Chain A
Amino acid sequence: MTVDRRSQRGLDWLNFFVADVQTGFGPFVAVYLTTQAWTEVQIGFALSLGTLTAMLSQLPAGALVDATRHKRRAAMAALVGITLSAVLLAAWPATLPVLLAEVLHGFASCVMNPSIAAISLALVGRAALGERLGRNARFASLGGAIAAGVMGLIGTYLSPAAVFWLTAALAVPSMIALLSIRQSALRQNVAATQAQTKRARLKDLLMNRGVLVFAGCALLFTLSNAAMLPLAGTAVTQAAGDEANLIIAGCLVVPQLVVAGLSPWVGRLAEERGRRIALLLGFSMLPLRGVLLAVVNDPYMLLLVQALDGVSAATLNVMLPLTAADLTRGTNRFNLCMGFFGLSVGIGGTISTGLAGAVASWVSPSAAFAMLGGIGLLCVLLTLLAMPETREEISAEAVAAK
């Protein structure tokens, strides 16, 4: 396989700019809608609608990306959708446009994600996928880190609406990056995958032990992980005065930089020493972080503990698509599997913030951190006891044993 330099670069920057765009769609949407005189109920409804759409679309979107020969076109359509929803939010923050934007963004993200993974797989093939996914995660986290810094400053010193205009504008370089990936570089691999005769259906996927266990791990992972940052952010604002925002900015940016530094190494580790080692190493940061966040009070120490987030995030960002690729070897169900994992991640994350918020306000923030750490420990145990090694040779034996 010839490695197409230009296409690889294009994919790098695609990851970078898509992460930029998605940063704007994070918790900041709530701030933005507040400035548009939206009430809490309205905001909650709009965000829940977006989350619900994202969950309902994971599997159909995955199947769609599997079915199409034109992975690039799918990614382009998703980018157009995300851009449109950013423009809608920025230009016309009335009820219907915002709800439409949330639905559009929810669905488009579900196409975007597997499309990038599918392009990666088609570009480099299975053998080099771990390394490529590491590179994806590196550029995505760099993009996320820079975007978080810049958008946070704009939100603080200019206006929240300006953040959304920037979000919309950043879709343009994303498209340019996408267009610089050569369709010809993908065609052969895509055709080969689509020619796979074994047409596994969703049911077969759900019967696969590895798929189920990893979906469980992914759910527990975000159930444990998603609420840690907001909770730590609140802890920081209560402990620190004028420098609080700077520390929170650090809590957003530093883990991303850790991901950028670490994710190629995670990809290599998974290729050379096996998936289980990489998963266990990354997931074990969750209970560690939970315990440390529960006992640490000093804002700067909190920032250090948050940096551990980068280790586990790098692991999930690289290992989720890699495991999906492993588990669907010889079928054309890679993106359906990605969608299934994405659904697990979404469910875990949705429950996480509500659950941790309730425990934090009824018991104490420390208890909430301890609970989140405990869930993280369950995630590690599930991986240790039930997750099969999915690297090539071992799974070939498993296939032979059937």
Chain B
Amino acid sequence: MPIAPRIPGRKSWLSLLALLLLAAAPGLARAAEKEPAASEAPSPAPALPAPASPAPAAPAPTTPEAAAPAPAAPEAAAPEAAPVGQEPLPKDSALLLLGSDVKNSSDTVVGQVVNVLVDGEGKPLAVVLDYGGFLGVGKRRIAVAWPMFRFSPKGAVLSLTRDQLKAFPEYRKGEDSVMATAVEAH
């Protein structure tokens, strides 16, 4: 009978029904949203420049190919929409950050990237991590300042140690929090 006590061990912050009622709508919405995001990643066909055939011919409201639907809504009426450029993005040149494992300097996985916080200009401020724990038990959510990481296409490496972060306060969404950073020497 080892199963039953383990099922409730899962992390559920609200009582089940309340959570389900709350989560059902946005959860499904996000779920639908996730599909395009996933299929977006493997698009290794950037080599052909788009303006090859139809682009200069007709800069009409019908945008070339099915490139970017983003600016379509506000500028649908304007006939002078600029064609969208395409820049190659080789697969090893960038790191898909969200969800990636964070390692420490000795190459051990210490956490996962949950989110990235940016300031008003879009510059990254901090990485929100699920930090530490063993098999999901004892992990904590903390924010660590952007400069504390070394990034490479293989992943992010955190320069702070467990000892340095052990009593660090948790990050809470929508509340004043703190992010871990290096102590500045004056």
Interface residues of A (CB under 8 A from B): 15, 18-19, 22-23, 25-31, 34-42, 44-45, 47-52, 54-55, 94-96, 99, 106, 109, 112-113, 116-117, 133, 136-137, 140-141, 143-144, 148, 151-152, 155-157, 159-160, 222, 225-226, 229-230, 233-234, 236-242, 244-245, 248-249, 251-252, 313, 316-318, 320-321, 342, 345-346, 348-355, 357-358
Contacts and interface: CB of A to CB of B under 8 A. Distances in A.
B15 interface: yes
A348 B8 CA distance: 8
B130 A31 contact: yes
A92 to B, nearest CB: 11
A374 B107 CA distance: 43
Contact of A349 (B9, B37, B164): B9
B87 to A, nearest CB: 23
Interface string B1-15: 111111111111111
Interface of B: 1-16, 19-20, 23-24, 26-28, 30-31, 34-35, 37-38, 96, 98-101, 108-109, 112, 114, 130, 132-140, 161-164, 166-167
B132 A42 contact: no
Contact of B134 (A39, A113, A239, A252): A252
B29 to A, nearest CB: 9
Contacts of A52: 16, 20
Contact of B100 (A25, A35, A45, A236): A35
A137 B23 CA distance: 36
B26 A26 contact: no
Given A27-B10, A44-B13, A245-B132, 8 more contacts: A23-B135, A26-B9, A26-B10, A116-B1, A144-B2, A241-B162, A351-B15, A354-B14
Nearest to B170: A361
A353 B11 contact: yes
Given A48-B20, A252-B135, A35 B5 contact: no
Contacts of B163: 241-242
Contact of B9 (A96, A136, A230): A230
